[in-house]
Chain A
Amino acid sequence: MFIYTREAHPGENVPHHDTMERKLAGARLLREETGIIRDILVDDLAGTVHRAYGLMPNMTWVIDRGGRVAYKADWTSAANVEAFLDRLAAARTRHLLGTAPVMYQTQQVEFRRTDRTRFMQHLGRNGPRAVTEFENAQKLWARRR
């Protein structure tokens, strides 16, 4: 399931949502462009659900059948999630053999393409302002280091 949040990089073509109609239009655009078939749920304008889950722009969470958090990640790695879901499914049978879920924390590196061309193209699709603002942000990040 996909929860549609505020636009991470609003621009002239894909603007910041100031009305629910605009937000729904953005969600439809997402559906059309990506062709995802999962259910898309649309968060409210205040980003209530997004805020409750921590506001990162592309998180993946897995909630188990008891309503408890089984997995939370601040970015989405399909491979990582799928591997976890396999282990979760296997653990359901292992439960009968005397194991139970216990929380532990990890941090890890993920390997991301260094070629940002495609990402910049997506920003350009949102509008020239999205590109300019991202470039400005890159300068800010460089100053932080």
Chain B
Amino acid sequence: MKERISPEVDQLMWLVAEDAEPKAINDFGVRFPDLRGELMKRVEMVRTLRGAKEPGHHVDRIPAFSMRKAEPVRINPRLAFIAACCAVAAIGLATYTVISSSRTTAARPPVTPISTAMPTPSPGVVYRNDLPKQPVTASPLPTPTPEPSPTTGLPNLPVYLTPQDFTFHNTKLRLAIQTAAMAGNLNVEIAPGLPDMEISESYRQISPVDLLRRLGHDYGFSAFEQESGKVLIIPEVDNDPKDANRPAQTASPSR
């Protein structure tokens, strides 16, 4: 029977049942004769429910107010257990996250250091370890982390490692060194005694740093890489007039 009653009629029936006015009950019964029985059941239920308030409700003597002591905080053992489980899970998750992130960092390929190896020693060449008076530093040129190029996908090399083409035609050696330094954005310091010969040479796809090494190898000087993009050029042979091993002032490489 309940399924047949529309919400509007149902609400109206509750209103009539709660007011319990005989005229309203009668009017409702006339309008909805099929629901008269249902209405009377609700009227009876509401009356019984309201009447249930009466027994024991009225208090003849109100007891004196007795202030209760503040209750100690009672911890529900089930809630405490759940909270403890959550805390352990959170700690576990945090530990896992830290460990996995550190492993990921460790698994990254190491940054390839710029090779500072000198060219194959040639007879009569003086290298870094043989020059105790020179301020030798272990640090190579700054090695920024190569980042993939957005266009080529190749690592973006610093300019002093970027291969370039160099052509010298009757160019003074000092000027060639300065040209390589400028191309690599390097600061070059040339020690006294460097022969300033004219050179004519062409180098293809060679980085400025490698060019300095190559020039040093070909024309008798050593290029020492210092910190902060500084390169020290040391002649391999003292150009002192007293030196008997003075190299020939020629434009051809010593290769």
Is the pairing of A and B real? Answer: no
